[in-house]
Chain A
């Protein structure tokens, strides 16, 4: 019988815990880190990324190797936290258009850079059948399997296809362009060569910042933040206030969904309508949403008052407070060393690679 209970206990034992976004597995190396360490990690990586992609061309341009290294660190941490799979199946689709957009903007709207220039096709004057066609088909198939609809994936695949048409070297090489169907006149723009390097650097830097943010959100609980604030000496009421904000996020989201469903059940938002009508629908949701917010606040306020929130002399601390371990100190020290090495002393990872005989 005892064995049965322990078996049941093992089955009931918590293996995952809810975080800001989704949930995380308990016991991974990243989960064991203190929330302050994770915030320092994200801020340091973001600062380094900002610094590396903003190095002016006159001082050698962006540090692509350093940025790639940072991205590798973030991906490794996401893997160690066992949240990479969730990220790939949910937010990757959201983040890719951002990165693609950043690339295109920085390629075409950054023409004041010095140095040699290069041609990029907006349209090569023919439809090349070759590598670009493979890109189109593969992207369309992959995105269709994910979304199970045609318009969105087709638009995304066409954008990728158009990007693969831009380099003249690809279109004109018989290796990558096997046949050509003439269509219209060629349109090309003249951009600095450095613009391509800067665009790639921006994409890498943004990827570092975006995915390090996800690392924090996917591996941090709201109560941990309140506990950490107390450890930092923030007064209880301010910590509790922060905790109230974060704990109410789910409730507000649930309210929004309930009100929306109720209105759909009454016939709102059923037919496909113009943008203005959809905005009016949104406004109709907002009024009951705010009304329910006020009602809930009144109830919670009364509950706080009844529990002696203002008169309590002894408060119960958050259970989620955890000690700052040696591992946390080691990670923070490593990050500080990296920041000093790169930002203060001005070392570049690509020049180190060159010194080592690569590149």
Chain B
């Protein structure tokens, strides 16, 4: 990509670089920790508030999922790590699910988010899609006319269908391999997982992006690369 094209988008400084030199500023260091605590609490609530049907690691409405999406878009690896730890501790240990299976199938809340981050910053950002998803709700981003239909297309295709299916496959597949899902019930579990995450994602992500992303960017707290 030429430097002229780079200048074309107001998000060109959000890349897939590893990290800047030196340690992260204390504010970011604390923020990375506190956002994990937030995801743990929200994961816990998304299981507890919906009652017993949310057990077996599958919530009918896993409303923390869109939080993990936007935290990953903001804070790269740390957002995805929050998803993983939130699933193990908040949606797992704190509601009494076993540690060993939780550690294994919580990978479903780590891998898809890392893939999403790489795709948004590495590929879609170059195609004119905002890697912070502001074009889902904004008409204009710093003078650049947002491509809303493209943003929604990629959001639904990537997050709603492909990565959500990957998440369900990893999560339910690991549970099945560990003998936690009955052989004949595999697809019930899979569909429950898929639909529960999809609903939350489509309903809440735009609201969160609209309410928070600009503020976080104004504070200068968004990662330029994977780690800082």
- Residues of A whose CB lies within 8 Å of any CB of B are 20-21, 42-43, 46-47, 49-50, 53-54, 91, 94-95, 97-98, 101-102, 105-106, 108-112, 202, 206, 209-214, 216-217, 237, 241, 244-246, 248-249, 251-253, 256, 276, 279-280, 282-283, 286-287, 289-291, 293-294, 296-298, 300-302, 304-305, 309-310
- A31 CB to nearest B CB, Å: 19
Q: Is the CB of B63 within 8 A of A290?
A: no
Q: Is the CB of A47 within 8 A of B100?
A: yes
The residue of chain A having its C-beta at the shortest distance from the C-beta of B103 within the complex is A43
Assembled-state Cα–Cα distance A52/B150 (Å) = 51
Assembled-state Cα–Cα distance A180/B28 (Å) = 69
Q: 11 more A-B contacts (CB under 8 A) besides A50-B178, A105-B182, A297-B27?
A: A94-B96, A102-B56, A109-B182, A109-B188, A216-B93, A256-B41, A256-B45, A286-B204, A293-B35, A294-B219, A300-B30
Assembled-state Cα–Cα distance A279/B188 (Å) = 24
Interface of chain A, main secondary structure: helix
User: Which of B179, B207, B211 sits near A54, CB closer than 8 Å?
Assistant: B179
Assembled-state Cα–Cα distance A201/B93 (Å) = 21
Q: Would you mind naming 30 contact pairs between A and B with Cβ atoms under 8 Å apart?
A: A21-B94, A46-B98, A50-B178, A50-B179, A54-B178, A91-B96, A98-B56, A101-B55, A102-B56, A110-B183, A112-B184, A210-B98, A216-B99, A217-B93, A217-B94, A244-B33, A245-B37, A245-B40, A249-B37, A249-B41, A252-B40, A252-B41, A283-B208, A289-B38, A291-B215, A294-B215, A298-B27, A301-B27, A304-B26, A309-B26
Shortest Cβ-Cβ A-B pairs, 7 listed: A301-B27, A209-B98, A97-B52, A248-B37, A244-B33, A109-B182, A109-B185
Assembled-state Cα–Cα distance A305/B27 (Å) = 9
Residues of chain B from 39 to 84 with CB closer than 8 A to chain A in the complex: 40-42, 45, 48, 52, 55-56, 61, 63, 67
Residues of chain A lying within 8 A (CB to CB) of residue B188: 109
Residue interface bits B170-197, CB-to-A below 8 A is 1, else 0: 0000000011001111001000000000
User: Which of B26, B37, B182, B212 sits near A106, CB closer than 8 Å?
Assistant: B182
A-B contact count (CB 8 A): 170
| B: interface residue count bin | 35 or more
- B96 CB to nearest A CB, Å: 5
Q: Is the CB of B26 within 8 A of A46?
A: no
- B228 CB to nearest A CB, Å: 13
- Residues of B whose CB lies within 8 Å of any CB of A are 23, 25-38, 40-42, 45, 48, 52, 55-56, 61, 63, 67, 85, 93-101, 178-179, 182-185, 188, 203-204, 207-208, 211-212, 215-216, 219, 221
Residues of chain B lying within 8 A (CB to CB) of residue A49: 98
- A286 CB to nearest B CB, Å: 6
Assembled-state Cα–Cα distance A109/B181 (Å) = 9
Q: Is the CB of B208 within 8 A of A287?
A: yes
Q: Is the CB of B98 within 8 A of A206?
A: yes
The residue of chain B having its C-beta at the shortest distance from the C-beta of A214 within the complex is B96
- B175 CB to nearest A CB, Å: 11
- A237 CB to nearest B CB, Å: 8
- B99 CB to nearest A CB, Å: 6
- A312 CB to nearest B CB, Å: 12
Residues of chain A lying within 8 A (CB to CB) of residue B93: 213, 216-217
Q: Is the CB of B33 within 8 A of A241?
A: yes
Assembled-state Cα–Cα distance A249/B38 (Å) = 7
User: Which of A210, A216, A252, A301 sits near B31, CB closer than 8 Å?
Assistant: A301
The residue of chain B having its C-beta at the shortest distance from the C-beta of A56 within the complex is B179
- B202 CB to nearest A CB, Å: 11
Q: Is the CB of B30 within 8 A of A301?
A: yes
Assembled-state Cα–Cα distance A83/B66 (Å) = 36
Residues of chain B lying within 8 A (CB to CB) of residue A109: 182-185, 188
The residue of chain A having its C-beta at the shortest distance from the C-beta of B27 within the complex is A301
Q: Is the CB of B85 within 8 A of A253?
A: no
Assembled-state Cα–Cα distance A253/B38 (Å) = 8
Residues of chain A lying within 8 A (CB to CB) of residue B67: 286, 290
Once A101-B55, A109-B182 are accepted as A-B contacts, the answer to whether A301 and B29 lie under 8 Å apart by CB is yes
Residues of chain A lying within 8 A (CB to CB) of residue B98: 46, 49, 206, 209-210, 212-213
- A189 CB to nearest B CB, Å: 12
Once A245-B37, A301-B27, A301-B31 are accepted as A-B contacts, the answer to whether A282 and B63 lie under 8 Å apart by CB is yes
Q: Is the CB of A279 within 8 A of B63?
A: yes
- B45 CB to nearest A CB, Å: 7
Assembled-state Cα–Cα distance A307/B117 (Å) = 34
Q: Is the CB of A43 within 8 A of B30?
A: no
- A17 CB to nearest B CB, Å: 19
Q: Is the CB of A248 within 8 A of B185?
A: no
